[in-house]
Structure 1
Amino acid sequence: MLGGVEITSLSPVFVGRTAELTALTDALSRAVEGEPRALLVAGEAGVGKTRLVEEFLGEARRRGAAVAVGGCVEIGADGLPFAPFATALRALRRALPDAFAAAAEGQEGELARLLPELGDPQGHPEPHADDSTARLFELAVRLLERVAADHTVVLVLEDLHWADTSTRHLLAYLLRTLAGGRLAVLATYRSDDIHRRHPLRPLLAEIDRLRSVRRVELPRFTRAEVHRQLTGILAAEPDPALVDEIFRRSDGNAFFVEELVVSHEQGCAPGGLSDSLRELLLVRVERLPDDAQNVARIVAEGGSTVEYALLAAVAGLPEDDLIAALRAAVGANILLAVPDGDGYRFRHSLVREAVSDDLLPGERSRINRRYARALEADPTLVRADERTTRLAGYWYHAHDAAKALPVVLRAAAEARRRHAHAERLRLLERAMELWDDVPRDVRDTVRPIDQAEAYPACGCDADTTPLRYLDLLAEAAVAARQCGDRERALTIVKRALRLLADGDDPLRAAWFWTERSRLVTNLGRGDGWAELATAQELVRGLPPSAVHAQVLAVAAGWGMLHAPGPDSLAAAERAVEYARLVGAEPVELNARLTLGSLMVDAGDVEGGLAAMRAVRERTVELRLTGEAGRAYTNLASTLESVGMSREAVEVAEAGIVYTREHGLLGNEAWVLGNLAEAQLSLGLWEEAERGAHRLLRLAAATSKPRGFALLRLAQLHVLRGETDAASAHTSRARELLGAHAPMLQFTLPLTRLELAVAAGRGRMRDVRDLLAAAVADGFPAGTHRYAWPLLLAAATAEADARPADPRGVVGDPDAERAVRAVRDGARRLAAPVPLWEAYAEFVAAELARAEGRDDPGRWAALVAALERVQRPYELARARYRLADALLTGGRDREAAAGALREARAVAVRLGARALREDAELLAARARLSLDPGEPAAPPAPEPAFGLTGRERDVLRLLARGRTNRAIAEELFISPKTASVHVSRILTKLGASSRTEAAALAHRLRLLDAPPDAR
């Protein structure tokens, strides 16, 4: 009477998962309060992840949240990037159109790489835009934060085990950097698919360490839960024997329970089924009519979702027959109509996988060929942003290399425009795989199609010159580098250089050698100069070309960092000239920026700064964001190098705004480090500390910027007199920055910090060894900004460590040798601007002090010089030294008191603990008041640091290196008593060791006679 009765396998009752659902809803509640939260839902295939997510999303909608769901698709393995994010953003745009438009305003072109409906991606990829993906990621995160500022948003990404590389990287970036907004991120994946080498495993390990992320593991159902599921499916109390049998055979997997119930209700006893999982999953498919089975096979091979029009074209059935077949498959709960589109997908991916695996090899190729031909005949059958990638996959799986190669290359070009470099690399490697199977006459018709690197660089016409295999290798090498797989990039470059060993193509060989230089440097396997020298030799004598200009520009940039001087300056000038001749303006601007910096190093301060400012303005005008970010970075650094710290701060702050707006994370990190350096110089120590910690958070996964941040923190601790903290940060910075090719901008400041730490602990042998190593090869041009502070630290250490007699270092060969080394280094070092002239005077004054020739007139001249530059801490130190010299000579006590008050006030304001203590101790020893307007001497102070007379005697011997036994013998006391005195001295001085106590005794002049108090 009713005809065939449809048997449902879905339980209307949500079974179990109470704790898991509570975890999800708790995260949603936190998100509603403005605390972004993320959850990873893991479980084996069929365990019920999708049903749990559906229940959670129902609750989220009831609370007024906007829900955006995107699923990873297996076609992502063929290069379809960002698929789940694109789908989710599309849903979010539909749900909150006004908020979405406001959040994306001004960045539509860049965000179109994720969501093509926003417009065309702006411009063309930059030649060496390694940060392009990071820029896109930053803009995507900012988009979500803005939308979620006033609306609760739930972002769901399903089936992460199929995620393409770009999606995994974007998700990791989102979870690491998301700081605000009412946003909950939920991602699911199959735990049983995550084998030891699965690409998702590193991501899971990384995000497991984030406190804002929680992982939810879904176990299989218990027998009681299976009983409840069966009750819901059957709408009746199941037979206990049936429950036992299905629980045993399903092992608590919810999906298998459904399949077994359907098999039982259709008359197939559970015990009659094969133990093979595939056969279990295929049972209901094989019970469908023939047309429906055929349609299921076609859908299984077409991707995660197949559009109705495309399915109709491939199936070739009359429309009524196709609809009848689809109705049968949908009625059997095998296929589902896609809610937000005109297409079909399998209700469960396990069934699709089983159906696809069941296809014969020839059958699979035939179905893919039919898909490819249908799509070629009518490209409108699929979305425009998926068309090329899907066509490339169809032809590839159809095993038609001649048809596949051009489409694979077009798909790689599209991936490049979307900054999906990992997918681009995979597609290019697929093209390399196909290359030998494509007939030569077909290969000769293939054009580069926006492949960009090799053709313009080598002066070839991309419209008429066929693509060569070497060009494919060049593109693959760049893609591997830009997606972070530098090992793979180096392997590809080496392969290309082997093919170029005959020397017939010097331009391409030079290009690959330049690329190899970059890679070995980044991998920490050398400084890259040998590779650059080879590249320069290859282009020597050839007509101007973009490759020639690029080689010279890279060589000049290398020289700026490693060996600034005339050769690097000349290379930069030639790079500018060659780039202008061939019209390569981005290369020209980079070379001009390097040239400007080298001009400043050579002494042409005004000319060099003018050139750098012009480059910054031009790159911003042309929207060359990578070059503009570098211009902000280098200009701020160069301004600081000539003492123009206030302008350096202004440029750096504008650079941070620019880099953040354009998602230039790499440049933002360097600008932050340069800003902190200028702030330290200006006495803005708290601002510098905040910036350094922010840089640490920003650069959590990158060694150089993290080392840069630690370097700044170590400098701050040295200034404050916090020796232990300075030592710890310096050591860690050395580890991170030493993992790469050494650069003077890092090695010299690190040496200075290590020298200051050693001096603070009284290890003068280490101080002298570090100085000797630093000055052994001299200081190249442009390193004065690092060398003068290093020489000053060494001279100060020698002066602080001198014995309390007027001869100074005379008679101590090691000290005399160190003083000569400082003086010789200073004599050869440039002082091109007033700041470094003042530093030269500072070094000379400290050397005179070390030699027992302390002169108040010299310190007064230094104070006057430092008053004209922007260095409050150095000025305070000079005033302290002036006061000390005046008091030691019994000269102007009022002038000494004024200088000491000003020095202490600055030390207190900055938090320079060591300088403050020195000033207060000197005032106490000289009986001077540090309160303004109080010239009268206070009562005689207690002995410094509360040391008794006997303890001062012990300290004097300890400072000469005596052991406890030697001290006991000389003072006629027992070794035990000497040990007690030493322990008390260390406690009173706050010293951690005997050497540090000795250093403090010398630095604070605790063993000298008190200054003249008359």
Structure 2
Amino acid sequence: MASRVTSTTFVGRAAELAELRAGLTEAAQGRPAIAFIAGESGLGKTRLVAELERLAREDGMRVIGGDCVELGESELPYAPIVGALRPLARSGHEAFAALTDPARAALAQILPGLGAAETRTDDEATAQARLFDGLLELLELLARDDGLLLTIEDLHWADRSTRAFLVYLASSLCRERVLVVTTYRPDELHRRHPLRPLLAELERDARARRVELRPLTRAELGEQLADILGAAPRPDLLDRLFSRSEGNPLFAEELLAAGLDGRGALPPTLRDALMLRIERLSPDAQELLRVIAAGRRLDHQILSAACDFDPRGPAREAVAAQLVVADEEGFYSFRHALLREVVVDDLLPGERASLHLALARALEERAASLPNGGGAYLATGIAHHYLESGDQPAALAASVRAGAAAESVHANGEAAALYSRALQLWDRVPNAEELTGLDHVELLRNAAWTNDREHEPARAESYLRAAIAELGDSDPVRTAQLLELTARQQFNQGRSAAAAETRREALALLPEGPSGTRATLLAGMAKELMLESRLHETLEVADEAIEVARAAGDQVSELRALDAKGVVLFGMARYEEGEAALREAMQRSQQNDIFYFLSTHVNMADALAGAGRLADARKIAAEGLELAAARGTPRRWLMLLCAELAFEAGEWDVAEAALPSPGRPAQGTTFINDALRRIELALGRGDHDTARTLLDAAEDVAADTREPQWIGPLGALRAELERRAGDLEAAVAAIDNALDRLDFCSQDVARMARVAASGVRVHADAAVRARDLGEDPELAIMMAEGLLARVEACAEGERPVERAFLTLAHAELARARDEDDPELWAAAVSAWQALGRPYRAAQAQRRRAEALLAGGNREGAAVAAAEALAAASAVGATWLASEIEGFALRARLRLDADEPSPPSAPTATEDGEDPFGLTPREKQVLALLAAGRTNREIGAALYMAEKTASVHVSRILSKLDVRSRTEAAAVAHRVGLV
């Protein structure tokens, strides 16, 4: 019989280890990644990780790791993260001393002993992000010298907060020398398992590595058994074990450990084989295993409190039998999760309840001796054990305490689950209010609040509705407060009309006179109206909110309302008043350490850019970004704003560098904002496939929004993408849809001007196409005229950006009328140059070159085209540069004064031959393309597959040296090909 259980030889995982070793090498070179090791229980995930850790230590890398913990429906917040960092924190690692103050305060919430935890409650929505920023800062410090390997095992049991942190890491790791390695069991991921969508998202990342473990081959199993037995196994034993274990190394090891050397009958399952080993232990050792199975990971003190005997001897026996291991911190746990599962499954109901009750009391006793009761980790464990013990009163009280503790570390998903459990227990416990220290309405409110923080507005609203119904008419002020929270959930679901009605209902319940609740309601209403650009309504409500807030002494509501007022004053072109209001809100918030001032930086910079003051806007945004970094506050919106303003200023490399790392940790409007910045860059560089993918995703998220800041840009960018593809009908539909949605309730003239001006351009293309086809262009011209009138209305007064769009619209209308005027385009160039927006100026300059050529001024056209090309190249607008070069080539213009004059433009000969080398089939396709047919329609007409039609179209565009279907049609008509 073998003298040991586990093989000391690392068998059969060379390729998998090489893949992970490559990840280590890249991480050490500043290319971080996340690796996912997938494999069923017993296939060697932990062994592979251990081997990788050994190699990492040999390379000088720091290695830390933690395990996810299964507690049924309970979850321990940040369990593997705390497990990985706690030993370093206890030893006083130098990285903790190097943390910034904001990072230290954030991390102190989950790692007591680092100092005072942050106590800010002004912006709970970003508190978890502050914690994640602190964790990332710590990982970077730990990895600074030789790199860092962070391992997280059993990801299928990961808590919500750990999953959220992984998403954050995937999008935030940039140049840190970090490799994160996780393990999970695919067989544990049922259809609705929360890890499934996360893995689907993260494993698609280019930096992600997925390693899937397979069973051992017969030869590999023989190598494993030879190491255990000390000699090569007999062929019959190897055959039998390979057949029974199916190459699972753990199963093979346990079969040998159970004394099965091939002479007796094999246990029917791996669990039976494991139980054979457990039953060989003494009664006390078996009881010890039961306690550890219930507690998962316990130290000597807790074991002593939960057992009726001295656990030292039985613990030594279990360790010697290689069933239990003791870690460096003195905690006992099972060598393999499957061993624990076998013991748990073997427990009788009464045994299970008694064990959990003993553990709950032991942990509660420890919590009483620790500051803050030991924190969320310990509180959640106590609640779990009381629930499993069947002590419902104790479970209720412990669940409420654990929910509050989870909230304190911003583990809102775990808190929501704990409050939900408490609500289920409430009616079963006679003195629930006395035990918990709160009433049922407050518990419902807590559940709603934490679900709101988890971006579950519909569920949060259902809890709030239940609380409101329970209150009835007994407490109007409290009902109004709950209605205010309900309105927030409705607005977050895109139901702004319902939110406004709910706020009015809440206001009607309040007694006359100023109060904090009234101020909060009015400020919230002002912000929501501001986001929908309902300017006059916002101004009226904001003024009332400011007055009430000042009387009630509610400075936060006052500054929120003042911020909303400043934004709408800018929207009314009352720039001086708007700037004064926003600067007051910004300065007072900063002076009083109210988080809201960073939001005002965003609004101030955006408003200044909309007023034509791009340089001032960039200064404010940069200042906000610097303050956010110093304060340890999430900076995503400020980063996106800096990227947006840099794009407008023509500094595209700066814009791209300012963007957060790719990924999709963002939700809702944050995702839309992120996508818009990337869409603009993709369109500018001609990456139309990326632009379309992002547009589709952003439009899905924005489907129900009523905010012009998303509706307008998405509509204009969709129209431009479809216009370039030659699908003018889709472009017109995008313009019409955006304007319809903007007209519904908005007074946002800035976005209306942009969309309407884009619409004039689309209809100008339609008019040109109609003339090329010999059709009547009057409808397109009439539509362009109508949209021009809209731009004129938007540009009334001192509105420099709107007036720049108006110059574009005038020039495009002239093009639609076949009166293309270089002077109108020159006015547009000057308008955009005056605003410091070179890309838009270059687009107008390109059109000016075309207008000059149409008027017979070839030299002027060449000069204008050269200037447009230089401007486009300077900003990195590869699409526009390509368009200009194609135009110059077709027109035979000299973009370089030293170039010889090219020959005149080619035309079709009298006998129908063309100078482009088109095949007869390509000419048939071109005729249909010029008629405005789609690839599908071309394929149907010519009896070819849509994909084949697409290939023909691509070849035609290449031969004609054009970039769009519209230009191909124009060239075909002008040179007589159709």
TM-score by length of 2: 0.81
Q: Give yes or no for the alignment of 1:745 onto 2:740.
A: no
Map 1:21-100 → 2, pairs under 5 A? 21-75=17-71, 77-93=73-89, 97-100=93-96
Partner of 1:973: none
2:446 to 475, 485, 493: 475
- Does the 8 Å CA contact 1:771/1:818 hold for their aligned counterparts? no
For residues 349 and 275 of structure 1, what CA distance do their matches in structure 2 show?
20
- Does the 8 Å CA contact 1:135/1:662 hold for their aligned counterparts? no
Higher mean C-alpha displacement, 404-413 vs 909-918: 909-918
Map 1:652-801 → 2, pairs under 5 A? 652-659=621-628, 668=636, 670-688=637-655, 694=659, 697-699=662-664, 702=667, 704-712=669-677, 715=680, 728=692, 732=696, 735-756=699-720, 783-795=748-760
For residues 965 and 62 of structure 2, what CA distance do their matches in structure 1 show?
66
1:346 to 311, 334, 341: 334
Q: Give yes or no for the alignment of 1:384 onto 2:352.
A: no
Q: Give yes or no for the alignment of 1:315 onto 2:307.
A: yes
Measure how far apart 1:559 and its partner are: 1.7
Measure how far apart 1:258 and its partner are: 4.2
Which whole-Å deviations, capped at 9, do the CAs of 1:875-904 have from their partners, x for residues lacking one? 66777889999999999x999999888667
1:574 to 544, 567, 572: 544
Partner of 1:193: 188
Partner of 2:836: 870
Quick one: structure 1 residues 996 and 876, their matched pair in 2 at CA, closer, same or farther if it must change by over 3 Å? closer
Measure how far apart 1:435 and its partner are: 0.9
For residues 199 and 727 of structure 1, what CA distance do their matches in structure 2 show?
29
For residues 691 and 21 of structure 2, what CA distance do their matches in structure 1 show?
46
Map 1:950-969 → 2, pairs under 5 A? none
For residues 965 and 373 of structure 1, what CA distance do their matches in structure 2 show?
81
RMSD, aligned α-carbons: 5.0
Partner of 2:353: 365
Partner of 1:1012: none
Measure how far apart 1:156 and its partner are: 2.0
Partner of 1:398: 389
Which whole-Å deviations, capped at 9, do the CAs of 1:285-322 have from their partners, x for residues lacking one? 43333333333333332x122121222222243xxx44
Quick one: structure 1 residues 579 and 812, their matched pair in 2 at CA, closer, same or farther if it must change by over 3 Å? same
Partner of 1:290: 283
For residues 65 and 761 of structure 2, what CA distance do their matches in structure 1 show?
64
Quick one: structure 1 residues 867 and 219, their matched pair in 2 at CA, closer, same or farther if it must change by over 3 Å? closer
- Does the 8 Å CA contact 2:907/2:975 hold for their aligned counterparts? no
Q: Give yes or no for the alignment of 1:427 onto 2:427.
A: no
Which whole-Å deviations, capped at 9, do the CAs of 1:531-551 have from their partners, x for residues lacking one? 331232232251344443333
- Does the 8 Å CA contact 2:11/2:220 hold for their aligned counterparts? yes
Map 1:444-523 → 2, pairs under 5 A? 444=434, 446-447=436-437, 467-486=438-457, 488-493=459-464, 495-496=466-467, 499=470, 502=472, 504-507=474-477, 509-519=479-489, 522=492
Quick one: structure 1 residues 782 and 650, their matched pair in 2 at CA, closer, same or farther if it must change by over 3 Å? farther
Read off the aligned partner of 2:378 and give its amino acid letter.
Answer: R
- Does the 8 Å CA contact 1:109/1:121 hold for their aligned counterparts? yes
Q: Give yes or no for the alignment of 1:831 onto 2:797.
A: yes
Partner of 1:304: 296
Map 1:643-654 → 2, pairs under 5 A? 643-654=612-623
Quick one: structure 1 residues 895 and 551, their matched pair in 2 at CA, closer, same or farther if it must change by over 3 Å? same
For residues 874 and 237 of structure 1, what CA distance do their matches in structure 2 show?
76
- Does the 8 Å CA contact 1:799/1:847 hold for their aligned counterparts? yes
Quick one: structure 1 residues 276 and 831, their matched pair in 2 at CA, closer, same or farther if it must change by over 3 Å? same
For residues 136 and 684 of structure 1, what CA distance do their matches in structure 2 show?
32
Map 1:107-146 → 2, pairs under 5 A? 107-126=103-122, 129-146=124-141
2:147 to 143, 146, 152: 152
Partner of 1:631: 600
Partner of 1:600: 570
Map 1:240-255 → 2, pairs under 5 A? 250-255=245-250
For residues 727 and 251 of structure 2, what CA distance do their matches in structure 1 show?
72
Measure how far apart 1:108 and its partner are: 0.5
Higher mean C-alpha displacement, 160-169 vs 415-424: 160-169
Read off the aligned partner of 1:534 and give its amino acid letter.
Answer: T
Read off the aligned partner of 1:417 and give its amino acid letter.
Answer: S
Read off the aligned partner of 2:300 and give its amino acid letter.
Answer: Y
Quick one: structure 1 residues 94 and 941, their matched pair in 2 at CA, closer, same or farther if it must change by over 3 Å? same
For the pair shown, which has the larger CA radius of gyration, 1 or 2?
1
Q: Give yes or no for the alignment of 1:418 onto 2:409.
A: yes
- Does the 8 Å CA contact 2:838/2:871 hold for their aligned counterparts? yes
Quick one: structure 1 residues 839 and 949, their matched pair in 2 at CA, closer, same or farther if it must change by over 3 Å? farther
For residues 809 and 298 of structure 2, what CA distance do their matches in structure 1 show?
76
Partner of 2:343: 355
For residues 262 and 638 of structure 2, what CA distance do their matches in structure 1 show?
70
Measure how far apart 1:649 and its partner are: 1.7
Measure how far apart 1:427 and its partner are: 1.1
For residues 825 and 179 of structure 2, what CA distance do their matches in structure 1 show?
62
Identity %: 36
SS at match of 2:66: strand
Partner of 1:976: none
Read off the aligned partner of 1:531 and give its amino acid letter.
Answer: A
TM-score by length of 1: 0.78
For residues 244 and 824 of structure 2, what CA distance do their matches in structure 1 show?
93
Measure how far apart 1:234 and its partner are: 4.7
For residues 769 and 360 of structure 1, what CA distance do their matches in structure 2 show?
67
For residues 33 and 408 of structure 2, what CA distance do their matches in structure 1 show?
31
Read off the aligned partner of 2:323 and give its amino acid letter.
Answer: I
Measure how far apart 1:635 and its partner are: 1.9
For residues 926 and 221 of structure 1, what CA distance do their matches in structure 2 show?
68
- Does the 8 Å CA contact 1:710/1:730 hold for their aligned counterparts? yes
For residues 700 and 758 of structure 1, what CA distance do their matches in structure 2 show?
29
Read off the aligned partner of 2:282 and give its amino acid letter.
Answer: P
Higher mean C-alpha displacement, 549-558 vs 612-621: 612-621
Which whole-Å deviations, capped at 9, do the CAs of 1:671-698 have from their partners, x for residues lacking one? 344334433433334544565xx45815
Read off the aligned partner of 1:671 and give its amino acid letter.
Answer: L
For residues 776 and 315 of structure 2, what CA distance do their matches in structure 1 show?
100
For residues 339 and 928 of structure 2, what CA distance do their matches in structure 1 show?
82
Read off the aligned partner of 1:27 and give its amino acid letter.
Answer: G
Quick one: structure 1 residues 789 and 257, their matched pair in 2 at CA, closer, same or farther if it must change by over 3 Å? closer
For residues 896 and 26 of structure 1, what CA distance do their matches in structure 2 show?
55
Read off the aligned partner of 1:63 and give its amino acid letter.
Answer: D
Quick one: structure 1 residues 55 and 505, their matched pair in 2 at CA, closer, same or farther if it must change by over 3 Å? same
For residues 217 and 4 of structure 2, what CA distance do their matches in structure 1 show?
22
Partner of 2:948: none
Quick one: structure 1 residues 347 and 870, their matched pair in 2 at CA, closer, same or farther if it must change by over 3 Å? closer
Quick one: structure 1 residues 95 and 67, their matched pair in 2 at CA, closer, same or farther if it must change by over 3 Å? farther
Measure how far apart 1:641 and its partner are: 0.9
Measure how far apart 1:854 and its partner are: 8.8
Measure how far apart 1:555 and its partner are: 2.4
Quick one: structure 1 residues 588 and 278, their matched pair in 2 at CA, closer, same or farther if it must change by over 3 Å? farther
For residues 646 and 115 of structure 1, what CA distance do their matches in structure 2 show?
43
Quick one: structure 1 residues 716 and 381, their matched pair in 2 at CA, closer, same or farther if it must change by over 3 Å? closer
Quick one: structure 1 residues 718 and 556, their matched pair in 2 at CA, closer, same or farther if it must change by over 3 Å? same
SS at match of 2:530: helix
- Does the 8 Å CA contact 2:846/2:884 hold for their aligned counterparts? yes
SS at match of 2:581: helix
SS at match of 2:754: helix
- Does the 8 Å CA contact 1:310/1:381 hold for their aligned counterparts? no
For residues 816 and 346 of structure 1, what CA distance do their matches in structure 2 show?
78
